[in-house]
């Protein structure tokens, strides 16, 4: 593979990775963002069911896991079969306060499994946790 072929391949990969950039940005800023999916530092595992650093929103009673390069994964009440608290999650950023400091929203991390067998960790905003549990009927888990 020549130099120009490598450049072409890299540009194609960047285009695919940013396929849903505008949609993702709009969703993050919509107020429907509930947290992170598969947030981890270090080397990401390509065998994970969801891309590292994806997001989870709740829109019109459905959960949506999304990122800039993949199709949406939608779920509804009854689709989550495991939702187990496993610790503190990675904070979400929520703009800036009056003093200009970055607002950090705390999250809790939950080991999550869906009825189709997909597994991940979700870091859910603590202030939105009760609403998330209510929408997806998770109090019984």
Across residues 4-22, what is the average pLDDT?
77
Q: Contact 57/30 with Cβ under 8 angstroms?
A: yes
Closest listed residue to residue 121, CA positions, set 54, 58, 61: 54
pLDDT tens by residue, 35-54:
999 998 777 788 899 999 99
Which pLDDT score is estimated for 17?
A: 66
CB 125 within 8 A of CB 92: yes
Alpha-carbon gap, residue 97 to 103, rounded angstroms: 6
> Is the pLDDT reported for residue 108 higher than 70?
yes
Mean pLDDT on 74-96? 93
CA distance linking residue 123 with residue 129, whole number of Å? 10
Give the mean model confidence (pLDDT) for residues 54-70.
93
85, 123 contact by CB (below 8 A): no
Most confident segment among 2-6, 27-31, 36-40, 84-88: 84-88
Residue 93 has pLDDT above 90, yes or no: no
Average pLDDT value for the chain: 90
CB 15 within 8 A of CB 63: no
Burial class, 19, CB count within 10 angstroms (exposed 0-12 / middle 13-18 / buried 19+): middle
**What are the angstrom distances between the C-alpha of 17 and each of 43, 51, 71?**
18, 11, 11
Mean pLDDT, range 119-134, rounded to an integer:
97
Lowest mean pLDDT across 24-28, 31-35, 58-62: 24-28
Mean pLDDT of 83-89: 96
Say what the pLDDT of residue 35 is.
96
How far is residue 116's CA from residue 31's CA, in Å, rounded to a whole number? 28
Mean pLDDT score, 59-67: 95
């Amino acid at each position: 593979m020549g130099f120009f072929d490598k450049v072409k391949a890299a540009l194609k990969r960047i285009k695919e990775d940013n396929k849903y950039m505008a949609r993702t940005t709009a969703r993050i800023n919509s107020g429907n963002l509930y947290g992170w999916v598969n947030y981890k530092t270090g080397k990401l595992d390509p065998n994970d069911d969801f891309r590292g650093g994806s997001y989870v929103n709740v829109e019109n009673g459905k959960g949506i896991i999304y990122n800039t390069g993949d199709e949406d994964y939608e779920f509804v009440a009854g689709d989550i079969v495991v939702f187990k608290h496993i610790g503190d999650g990675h904070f979400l950023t929520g703009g800036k306060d009056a003093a200009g400091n970055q607002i950090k929203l705390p999250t809790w991390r939950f080991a999550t499994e869906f009825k189709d067998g997909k597994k991940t960790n979700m870091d859910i905003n603590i202030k939105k946790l009760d609403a998330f549990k209510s929408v997806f009927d998770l109090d019984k888990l």
